[in-house]
Structure 1
Amino acid sequence: MAKKISLIVLSNSGTTVKQLSIPVALLVTMALAFILGAGFIGISFRDYQTLRKSLAANQNAAQTIDEQREEIGQQRLQIQSFAHEINALKEKLVGLDQFEEKIRVIANLTPSQTDDNLFGVGGAAPEDLDPQLELTRRHEGLMREMHQQVDELNAASQRQQSSFGSLLDKLEGQRNLLASTPAIRPADGWMTSRFGHRVSPFTGRKEFHKGVDIANRKGTAILATANGIVSYAGKKGPMGNVLVIDHGHGMITRYAHLSEALKKQGEKVKRGDIIAQMGNSGRSTGPHLHYEVQLNGVPVNPATYILN
């Protein structure tokens, strides 16, 4: 016979109202059910917390992935922008090379003497990069091309720098040559005798006149016709007071019959500087300047070197 537990229910006055008999098995079953229910609730609560944490982690991971996708998109946009800049730099470099050749033609200089052209021996400018890729596509191929073209442009820029250095040296040399070449009228006045054969006003015989004569009032300013260094200032027989300027490159100018030389031997002069005053020293028929131009010791026609 099953065991039972009797429960007595008392009233407020203490008298017995009802007596209950509950089987022990039922109580055990109810206790087990309570314990299992509590355990199930605990496990469910724990699983809920775990699921909640997992969901939060998944949300964070999803946000991180979205941020990384956005960052990758921005990086690919930057790669495309750099590709455009590389194309623009290449175009500018080619333009500079063409500009240099134009300068050489205008300045009557020889073409660039580099052993190869701007982009290497037999090389042409690399093809333009194609940055028009979808942002979802991988950009490794474009990046490889960019690295290769950056190396090529770096080498080309070094060649261009060397070529521009050579051009600058030649232009500087040409500028010095032009500055040292007689190019202006040495004095105001009237040209009374030209370069070449003439009848001497003193002997009446035919002679070779090595320069030109320019007549004006005594004291008229005489100008250096090019940059140079005074190589002689003093008297020289029938030429009277003479001043000679060495312009380099085998070129000298001589100024004779001066009333006074205003520069001394060894002084540097520039084109347009006042170097002397007109006079009639030496053998002269009146105040005038005898002006000579000599190239490598040979007299040449000064009129060729008067451009104003």
Structure 2
Amino acid sequence: MTALEAVSAYLPPERVPIDSLAGELGLTDTQVRMFRRYYGLAEVLREPTGTITDLMLNAAAKLSELRGRESQVRYVVQARTLQAIAPYPEDPLHDVVRALGLRHARAFAVTQHACASGLLAVEMAGRLLAEDGEPGALALVFVGEKAFTPSARMIPGTALMGEGCAAVLVGTGRRDRLLSYASATHGEFNAGLSLTAQMSLEFQQRYPDALAEVILAAVARAGITVADLDVVLPHNVNRVSWVRVARNVGIPVERLFLDNMPVTGHCFCADSFLNYVAARELGRLRPGDRYLMAAVGLGSTFAAAVFEH
């Protein structure tokens, strides 16, 4: 069974107040107030000098469970939102593979689900390991990116992007077992940030129900109900959208882990995994707890997964 053997989080040292981003992002004072007061955002993470390679290596350095087990890693997967993450001909993922001594592993990227690609990568890695049937084999999944272009720094009217990164060691054991995974792609919104005003409005209207649908599907596939979820580890877009979705599906708002949202920004595919590490360190996850990760990728894919701690 697919399991999270270990998860590490790297949070860059620089936290930038969203007020200071107004000029860079072309935000009015009213829009800044909306992000701060209505959406619950205050700061975003920035790696001022580091590259995407540095983000991944810093996350891997905190993954102590990887040390001494490098030979067991069969796959290295970078789950990302952006198709282009560095100028040609740079290849950050393979630079990381070489630096970590993992040249024997198969390395590839998953981008098709945008910000929901992290959950896809974990589920896919588990299936690959299961099909190989090699005892003790592992996959290493990286999530989190650099907001290295203006269009990658904000989802207008929705979220501000941060630069945290997580490294996820996937195995087939019984620790943090993946109980279910569900996803749905609504291809009519494939234009993403280039949607027309009319289609953008339609997407906003359908968003809560579409996310609720995959949450309920994942919960049902896990053989439980939403009442059995102890913690929800969301993607950090904004507070108001998550409160609305939680109420729609019957999840008590206090079970949403929203602690990181004001201080990290939306860190692409990494949010749920950064939230996992924070919740674990704060004692919000106990043995036997069932928790849900959920994410939405522009384009548009909705995904949710249920795990048992």
Q: Which has the higher contact order (CA 8 A, sep 6+)?
A: 2
**What is the TM-score normalised by the length of structure 1?**
0.21
**What is the TM-score normalised by the length of structure 2?**
0.21
Q: Who wins on radius of gyration, i.e. which is larger?
A: 1
